[in-house]
Amino acid sequence: MGLRLTTAGESHGPGLTCIVEGLPAGLVLDRGALDRDLARRQLGHGRGGRMKIESDTAAVTAGVRHGRTLGGPVAVSVANRDFANWEERMNPWPVAAEVPEVHLPRPGHADLVGVQKYRFTDVRNVLERASARETAARVAGGALAKAFLRELGVEVLSHVVQITSVVAPVPETLAPEDFAGVDESPVRCLDPGASALMVEEINRLRKANESLGGVFEVRAFGLVPGLGSHVSWEERIDGRLVQAIVSIQAMKGAAIGGGFELAGVPGSEAHDEIFFSPERGFFRETNRAGGIEGGMTNGEPLVIRAAMKPLPTLTKPLRSVDIATHEPAPALRERTDSATIPAAAVVGEAMVALVLADAYRRKFGGDHIDDVREALAAYERRIGWRRR
Ligand code: EPS
């Protein structure tokens, strides 16, 4: 069995729930680490008024006893504090009050196609679930996956590399230590100069009633070679990672290693030559493949980037059409964030961690965390793997 995440919840409903199935028993969880990841997802220059209302914390309601997993599904709930302001509009049960419907779909959102597909007349029935508030539940699930991966020597980290036209320089190699201060940057960027320019860019465009997109990068260190498989398309880990990343609200693309740039260089500059030494075993001097060859991890750090479109809720709304009258009208004007790429990077970590944890569960099995560790150690011995 692999590892599976289910999330439930609406943006202004009572709360969000995540269920992670497939964690082994005996895994030690750190309550603080869960809340830290939830708090990291709330950070970043460019967030809107909602983040002043929310202060996300994880309430574990199933699958854990005295700080250790029991082997069953783990359930975590994250309350929506804002529900207090939406009790009538978002009550799970009928209310006496008249609740007006939303009829103005926002271009770039799920709004229009969602009401068509689900036979709704009220856009709110779509936008509440489509909202990126749901990513709080993903991050809670991702924190569980990270706890499992940490036991296996794997760390998943992220940073922002671009906000609209501001592109940060990224050194050729990065080690986990290089990410130590990333959460102190207001945009979660490793380069202080670019960080300052990104903040200016957000301020400038926000003042012009614009929203912003960008690019973040997730890196995973300590991965054993052989996660995923070349034998069938569904098992290729690059495909699974890209699916997970692009499933994050507002993502339009994902690229592994050199990504699209590899398409423009000759073969001799696109691959990572293979070397061997008794001390290091097999090793590479470059990592253009981003740690994946043939749909499998190859032992080098995983490098994956995601491109996020500018948020589609604009303070100066785009043109739209009233779905009840079919008259032209500006799109729904909602309170919104202007830039969320720093937060999206934290969500990216969660999604990558979930896919990697799933791959470790599929490859090494085991009902207890020590079974997993033993199976991994035996495999590492067999292939002569030296942990990087
Ligand atoms: C979101 C709109 C905003 C964001 C929200 C995602 O919410 P609201 O409409 O309440 O102002 O703040 O993100 C979160 C609540 C969150 O926790 O990230 C959207 O439309 O996707």
Q: What are the pLDDT digits (tens) for 365-376?
A: 999 999 999 999
334 has pLDDT over 80? no
**335 C-alpha to center of ligand 1: Å?**
8
Q: What is the dihedral of CA 358, 363, 369, 370, to 10 degrees?
A: -170
Average pLDDT of span 151-159: 98
pLDDT score recorded for residue 314:
87
| Residue 336 CB less than 6 A away from ligand 1 | yes
Between CA 100 and CA 91 the distance in angstroms is 14
Task: Tell if the pTM clears 0.85, that is, is over it.
Answer: yes
Question: In Å, what is the CA distance from 90 to each residue of 54, 100, 128, 135, 168?
Answer: 17, 12, 9, 19, 41
- 346 or 388: whose pLDDT is higher? 346
pLDDT band at 386 (very low <50, low <70, confident <90, very high): confident
124 has pLDDT over 90? yes
Distance of CA 284 to the CA centre of its chain: 28
Question: Which residues on neighbouring strands pair with residue 74, listed in sequence order?
Answer: 20
To the nearest whole percent, how much of the chain has pLDDT over 90? 96
**343 C-alpha to center of ligand 1: Å?**
12
Between CA 306 and CA 175 the distance in angstroms is 20
Q: Where are the beta strands (DSSP E) in the chain?
A: 4-8, 15-21, 59-62, 64-65, 68-69, 74-79, 155-163, 166-167, 214-221, 251-256, 274-277, 281-284, 292-293, 296-297, 302-308, 319-321, 328-330
**132 C-alpha to center of ligand 1: Å?**
6
pLDDT band at 215 (very low <50, low <70, confident <90, very high): very high
For residue range 250-288, list pLDDT tens digits in order: 999 999 999 999 999 999 999 999 999 999 999 999 999
Average pLDDT score, the chain: 97
- 315 or 54: whose pLDDT is higher? 54
Between CA 368 and CA 366 the distance in angstroms is 6
pLDDT score recorded for residue 332:
83
3 state SS of 132: helix
- What tokens were used for 66? 């005295």
pLDDT score recorded for residue 335:
82
CB-CB contact of 331 with 238 (8 Å): no
Pick from 316, 370, 310: which is nearest to 344 by CA? 310
388 has pLDDT over 80? no
CB-CB contact of 61 with 81 (8 Å): no
- What are the residue ranges of helices labelled H in 45-88? 50-53
- What tokens were used for 383? 């292939």
| Residue 50 CB less than 6 A away from ligand 1 | yes
Work out which ligand 1 atom sits closest to the CA atom of 41: 18
Between CA 42 and CA 47 the distance in angstroms is 8
**133 C-alpha to center of ligand 1: Å?**
5
119 has pLDDT over 80? yes
To the nearest whole percent, how much of the chain has pLDDT over 70? 100
For residue range 18-29, list pLDDT tens digits in order: 999 999 999 999
Between CA 127 and CA 124 the distance in angstroms is 5
pLDDT score recorded for residue 158:
98
Question: Which residues on neighbouring strands pair with residue 308, listed in sequence order?
Answer: 214, 251
Pick from 7, 5, 18, 137: which is nearest to 75 by CA? 18
For residue range 171-207, list pLDDT tens digits in order: 989 999 999 999 999 999 999 999 999 999 999 999 9
Between CA 112 and CA 256 the distance in angstroms is 32
Q: Which residue's alpha carbon is at the smallest distance from atom 21 of ligand 1?
A: 131
| φ, ψ dihedrals at 183, nearest 5° | -75, -10
pLDDT score recorded for residue 305:
98
pLDDT score recorded for residue 71:
98
pLDDT score recorded for residue 333:
79
What percentage of the chain's residues is helix, strand, coil (to nearest 5)? Answer: 35, 20, 45
Between CA 132 and CA 50 the distance in angstroms is 12
CB-CB contact of 33 with 353 (8 Å): no
**336 C-alpha to center of ligand 1: Å?**
6
| Residue 133 CB less than 6 A away from ligand 1 | yes
Lowest-pLDDT choice from 64-78, 80-94, 214-228, 322-336: 322-336
Cβ-in-10-Å burial (0-12, 13-18, 19+) of 193 comes to exposed
Q: Where are the beta strands (DSSP E) in 155-201?
A: 155-163, 166-167
Average pLDDT of span 301-323: 95
pLDDT score recorded for residue 1:
82
The 10 Å Cβ neighbour count of residue 371 is 15
Average pLDDT of span 214-219: 98
